[in-house]
Structure formats: structure tokens, C-alpha cells
Structure 1
Amino acid sequence: MSDSDPRYKIANREALIGIGLAIFNFIWWFAFAYGLGGKDPSDYTYVFGLPAWFFYSCVLGFVVMAVLVTIVVKKWFVDVSFDEEGNET
């Protein structure tokens, strides 16, 4: 497999998409965890018995990321063969 192999381009694109999803996940988590959780605990609101900051950052964040990853993988990721294309030995 050489540097001009089109599989490198596909792998790089998919890696960048994965990094983008990870950054989005961190921003989502951080914004809700510290945005809603940065106040006095006596002022917390609750969703399904959980503090709102925890519910939105961890529970809903997980669901959103699971849906996003599923959509991205089905729509933009492609199946790539790992077999050598020719006999280069």
C-alpha cells in the first residue's frame, strides 16, 4: 500500500469526522455540565430525578452522540478492503 493509495484519503477523512464528533461531544458535555452544574446544589433543577446538568450532559448527550455516530457511519463512512490490491512482493 503506497501513499497514493486512495484508502489513505478515505481513512484520513473518516478520522477527521471522528475527531469532529469527539470535539462536539466534549463541548456538549462541558457546556451542560459546567453551565448548569456550576451553581449552588440547592438551586438545581431535576429531570427524571437526576440533576438537570447531569441529565443533559451525560444521559441526553449519550443519546445524541449515539444517534449522530450512527447517522455519520451510515451516510459518510465507506467499507474499505484491507487486502493488498496487487502482488507487490
Structure 2
Amino acid sequence: MKDQRFKIAHREALIGVVLVIINFAIWFGFAYGLGSGDPTTYTYVFGFPAWFFYSCIAGTGFMILLIWLVMKLFFKEVPFEDEEVEQ
């Protein structure tokens, strides 16, 4: 009989990998999407080039909120101790 904790751990690990892929896609999309042009044509947000602000600052804030939400909705507390089987 396989321990149920392994199934939970694998699901949560997969969720973690998906979150990393989302983070990379946001970072890459804004950094190379907005930042690939001529630097003289950059727009600025709060003194930062828009590509940097959206990829590094806003993207980080978004990921913190997304991870908090995922932790609340999809992750669950599991005991580390082996459960005693009563006979």
C-alpha cells in the first residue's frame, strides 16, 4: 500500500514546477518582449525601464500573490510521522 503523503507530495511538486514555468514566462516575455527594442525608445515606470519594472518588480509581486493563493487553495498540511496502524 503506497503512502498517501507521496501522492500529495508529487502533486504539490508538479504545482511548484508549473509556478516556476509561469514565473519564467512572465519574466522572459516582459524582459525580451519590451526590452528588445532600441533603448532610446524605452518607456519608464517609476524611473525604471518598463521591461524591467514589469518583468522584475511587478512580476515578482504577482508571483508572490499567486504563490500565496496556490498555497491556500491547493496545498495541505501532512504529518511527517508515520501513522500507527491499530489492530
TM-score normalised according to structure 2 size: 0.94
Could you list the runs of 4 or more consecutive aligned residues of structure 1 that deviate by over 3 angstroms after TM superposition?
none
Identity percentage of aligned residues: 56
1 CA distance for matches of 2:64 and 2:72? 12
Provide, for residues 38-86 of structure 1, a one-character-per-residue CA deviation record: whole Å limited to 9, x for no partner: 0111010000000000000000000000000000001110000000113
Unaligned runs of 5+ in 1: none
2 CA distance for matches of 1:51 and 1:76? 35
1 CA distance for matches of 2:58 and 2:17? 20
Partner of 1:38: 36
Describe how 1:7-86 pairs up with structure 2 within 5 A: 7-86=5-84
Unaligned runs of 5+ in 2: none
Q: CA RMSD in A?
A: 1.1
User: Matched residue pairs, number?
Assistant: 85
- For 2:67, give the aligned amino acid: V
Work out which structure has the larger RCO, using CA pairs closer than 8 Å and 6 or more positions apart in sequence.
Answer: 1
